Amino acid sequence: MDCHGTVKDKYDTTAGNSVMKTIIVLIVTLTGAHGEVIVSGPKKVTGLVGHTVNVPCTYNMLYVDNVKYWCRGTLRSKCHKKASTDGSVVDSRVSILDNKLKGVFHITIKSLMKEDAGYYQCVISRNFFFIDNSHDVYLNVSTDEDVQVSPSPKPNTGDLR
């Protein structure tokens, strides 16, 4: 019986369900898991061995000042950073340029090798419980000149960092 004289069922989980719903709403809101697109880009890009490929990753302008990075792998915990807008990671063939006016960062990979093929991620660092947002990209590297390669537009150099 509660303080109002109502008999409580010992299996009543209303309070527990309410707390759980609140926690779920909080997690979904704070992690961006509710459908907000934070970072996007192509699902697959193709380049030729020995050539250069450019991967554009667009992002929500709310994250213009966040660190962006490019890493290899599908699990973020095992994703090896190749380039970062904070300059912390350097791969001599990979560069990253952030056009903050347009909300797009470009990853450029030079002198492609067959071994470069695989899954990568465009990532926005959110510094929220180590939960970053990412977009998976498959990099296909071909030796066949007849294969249609992804266009590699030159990044606009206006306000790049």
Mean pLDDT of 17-35: 52
What fold, for 39-142?
Immunoglobulin-like (2.60.40)
Distance CA 103, CA 87 (A): 19
Is 50 exceeded by the pLDDT of residue 25? no
Distance CA 73, CA 122 (A): 11
pLDDT classification of 61: cutoffs 50, 70, 90: very high
Mean pLDDT of 66-81: 88
Pairwise pLDDT comparison (105 vs 28), residue with the higher score:
105
- Model pTM score: 0.70
Is 70 exceeded by the pLDDT of residue 4? no
Is 50 exceeded by the pLDDT of residue 140? yes
Question: Measuring CA to CA, which residue among 106, 95, 102, 107 is closest to residue 159?
Answer: 102
Is 80 exceeded by the pLDDT of residue 128? no
Query: According to the model, what pLDDT value does residue 8 have?
Result: 58
* Angle at CA of residue 115, ends 112 and 117, nearest 5°: 75
Q: What are the residue ranges spanned by the domains of the chain?
A: 39-142
